[in-house]
């Protein structure tokens, strides 16, 4: 009987298809299975094509059976596909672990070196006082560093600065920022001057916790008609109060520098409630912050100015020393050692 054969074929096909489905565990294999049985040239289609050969009165029964088989296979396929997808997901979760709830990895941000920060603070304070920043060279002539600052060769004051010499005679690494005074004066003369000169200085010293062979200085230079010690004192006081707090008292002691006359050293009082006060001020309550003075007439003349017409003052401070005081840094060598653990604290 044709219909019995066709129906048998249908059932054989069902058994075959279900059997194969069990072996196909992943999605691509299952999709091949689907094509094999349900594709355009698939086995189901071929089996259903037999319908036309079946006698009319038996077609309905065959059609019913065909629908049952089709539905059974489709259901089995959908279930197998769902299981396979789920297994694939579980596998990927277990092997390619990506925890989207983990906090992100922070980008390391750079920061300014404390020396840069304090220099910028100093620039800002002096900018408000009308000072411009003037940069001059670190490699200097012996003339600018000493001679034109009123220190002839063999002047005993040269002993205050242990100098690095270059192989070019008369060319040295500047021992202080004061030679910058000569550059500014010769460029600006006869105009009045109000500048600060920041930069690196070099001294041939034994390196220790307190002295380094390179360090920063900030020089100040003011020249004009009628400039007096009162202007120097007012400028330094204004600076100290902006830098160290509005309550600061300024104390002036007489001192000696060849290029200023009179010369002074300036101290500020340290807050009485700071537990570090004794250590920082060596028990005196006063802290030295800079050297200064009225510009020596010889130096004015060397810069091109007439000391009978103009006067001026100069000062020199060490920003690293201020930082060491402010942050209780007890070793000056830390500044240029490039140890990130140091820089990251600021």
Q: Which of 24, 62, 146, 315 binds ligand PHE (CB under 6 A)?
A: 315
Q: Does 179 bind ligand PHE (CB under 6 A)?
A: no
CA angle, 26 then 77 then 51, to 5°: 135
Quote the least distance from Cβ 119 to ligand PHE, whole Å. Answer: 17
The SS3 call for residue 256 is strand
Q: Does 257 bind ligand PHE (CB under 6 A)?
A: yes
Rounded CA gap, 262 and 259, in Å? 9
Burial (CB count <10 Å: 0-12, 13-18, 19+), residue 253: exposed
Q: Does 291 bind ligand PHE (CB under 6 A)?
A: yes
Q: Does 293 bind ligand PHE (CB under 6 A)?
A: yes
Q: Does 134 bind ligand PHE (CB under 6 A)?
A: no
Nearer to ligand PHE, 286 or 315 (CB): 315
Q: Does 314 bind ligand PHE (CB under 6 A)?
A: yes
Q: Does 180 bind ligand PHE (CB under 6 A)?
A: no
Quote the least distance from Cβ 264 to ligand PHE, whole Å. Answer: 8
User: Considering CB under 6 A, how many residues would be counted as binding ligand PHE?
Assistant: 11
Q: Does 260 bind ligand PHE (CB under 6 A)?
A: yes
Rounded CA gap, 146 and 162, in Å? 12
Buried residues in 68-102 as b, exposed as e (16+ CB within 10 A): ebbeebeebbeebbeebeeeeeeeeeeeeeeeeee
Quote the least distance from Cβ 313 to ligand PHE, whole Å. Answer: 8
Q: Which stretch binds ligand PHE (CB under 6 A): 46-54, 186-194, 314-322, 334-342?
A: 314-322
Rounded CA gap, 260 and 312, in Å? 10
- Helix/strand/coil (H, E, C) string of 124-193? HHHHHCCCEECCCCCEEEHHHHCHHHCCCCCCHHHHHCCCCECCCCCEEECCCCCHHHHHHHHHHCCCCE
User: Interface residues for ligand PHE in 190-249 (CB under 6 A)?
Assistant: 219
Nearer to ligand PHE, 27 or 231 (CB): 231
Q: Which stretch binds ligand PHE (CB under 6 A): 23-31, 66-74, 182-190, 288-296?
A: 288-296
**123: part of which helix (H) or strand (E)?**
helix 114-128
Q: Which of 174, 176, 188, 248 binds ligand PHE (CB under 6 A)?
A: 176
Quote the least distance from Cβ 101 to ligand PHE, whole Å. Answer: 59
Whole-Å CA distances, 99 to 96, 106, 107: 10, 16, 19
For residue 119 the two structure tokens come to: 């220099």
Which residues form the interface with ligand PHE (CB under 6 A)? 176, 178, 219, 257, 260, 291-293, 314-316
């Amino acid at each position: 009987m044709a219909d019995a054969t066709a129906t048998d074929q249908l059932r054989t096909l069902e058994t075959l298809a279900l059997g194969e489905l069990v072996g196909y565990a992943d999605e691509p294999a299952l999709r091949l299975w689907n094509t094999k049985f349900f594709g355009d040239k698939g086995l189901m289609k071929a089996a259903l094509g037999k319908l036309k050969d079946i006698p009319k009165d038996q077609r309905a029964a065959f059609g019913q059976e065909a629908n049952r088989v089709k539905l059974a296979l489709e259901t089995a396929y959908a279930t197998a596909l769902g299981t396979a997808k789920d297994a694939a997901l579980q596998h990927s979760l277990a092997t390619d672990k990506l925890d989207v709830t983990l906090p992100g990895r922070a980008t390391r941000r750079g920061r300014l070196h404390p020396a840069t920060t304090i220099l910028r603070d100093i620039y800002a304070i002096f900018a408000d006082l009308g000072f411009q920043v003037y940069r001059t060279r670190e490699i200097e002539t012996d003339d600018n560093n000493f001679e034109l600052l009123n220190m002839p060769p063999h002047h005993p004051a040269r002993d205050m600065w242990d100098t690095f010499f270059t192989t070019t005679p008369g060319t040295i690494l500047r021992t202080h920022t004061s030679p910058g005074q000569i550059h500014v004066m010769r460029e600006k003369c006869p105009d009045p001057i109000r500048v600060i000169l920041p930069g690196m200085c070099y001294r041939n010293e034994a390196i220790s916790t307190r002295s380094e062979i390179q360090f920063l200085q900030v020089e100040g230079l003011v020249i004009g008609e009628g400039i007096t010690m009162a202007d120097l004192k007012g400028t330094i006081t204004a600076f100290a109060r902006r830098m160290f707090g509005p309550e600061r008292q300024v104390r002036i002691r007489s001192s000696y520098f060849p290029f200023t006359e009179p010369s002074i050293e300036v101290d500020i009082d340290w807050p009485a409630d700071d537990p570090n006060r004794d250590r920082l001020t060596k028990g005196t309550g006063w802290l030295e912050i800079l050297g200064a003075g009225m510009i020596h007439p010889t130096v004015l003349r060397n810069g091109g100015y007439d000391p009978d017409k103009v006067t001026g003052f100069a000062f020199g401070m060490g920003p690293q020393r201020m930082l060491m005081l402010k942050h209780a840094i007890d070793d000056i060598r830390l500044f240029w050692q490039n140890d990130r653990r140091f820089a990251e604290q600021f």
